[in-house]
Amino acid sequence: MANILVLHGPNLDMLGRREPEHYGSTTLDSIDAALVLLADSTGHRLESFQSNAEHALVERIHQAGADGIDHIIFNPAAFSHTSIALRDALLAVDIPFIEVHLSNIYRREEFRRHSWFSDIAIGVISGLGANGYEAALNHIVELHKN
Ligand code: DQA
């Protein structure tokens, strides 16, 4: 059984209402609920955490290290493009993670094209909407079959 943490960065609590042309109409609660169901059905444990505050996400990553979390699925949202503190937190705990973006960050403004996480992630999923989280979880489930 794997312990999986899903981390959501700033403004993702507004999903469903926020710029639906970029982020779709699914709410964060329904994304998280679908992930818990999928994890349960494959015999894994999944929890999720959202914060608008960088320090709270740093502390949650440190906690994940202490709790023995095996994998993280992370949408750093706007912190993707700014946060060396979150990058360093992930390097410090050394937990493998998959970076997810609902929108395709390469089809948008120039400033979204660089992420401080992509080169240290297992992989990056960008532009598949809420399905991207399920794709990330399916990959983690496959890794744990070996
Ligand atoms: C996002 C893309 C980011 O550029 C943006 O700041 C977000 C969401 C996405 O899921 O597409 O808040 O990470």
User: CB-based contacts of 107: which residues, under 8 Å, 6+ apart?
Assistant: 127
* The pLDDT value given to residue 78: 98
CA of 145 to the centre of ligand 1 (A): 31
Q: What is the mean pLDDT of the chain?
A: 97
pTM: 0.97
User: CB-based contacts of 1: which residues, under 8 Å, 6+ apart?
Assistant: 43, 44, 45
Say yes or no: CB of residue 50 within 6 Å of ligand 1: no
Q: Report the alpha-carbon distance of residue 39 to residue 33 in Å, rounded.
A: 10
List, for residues 51-93, the tens digit of each pLDDT value.
999 999 999 999 999 999 999 999 999 999 999 999 999 999 9
Active-site pick, 8, 44, 101, 133: 101
SS percent in the chain: helix, strand, coil, step 5: 50, 20, 35
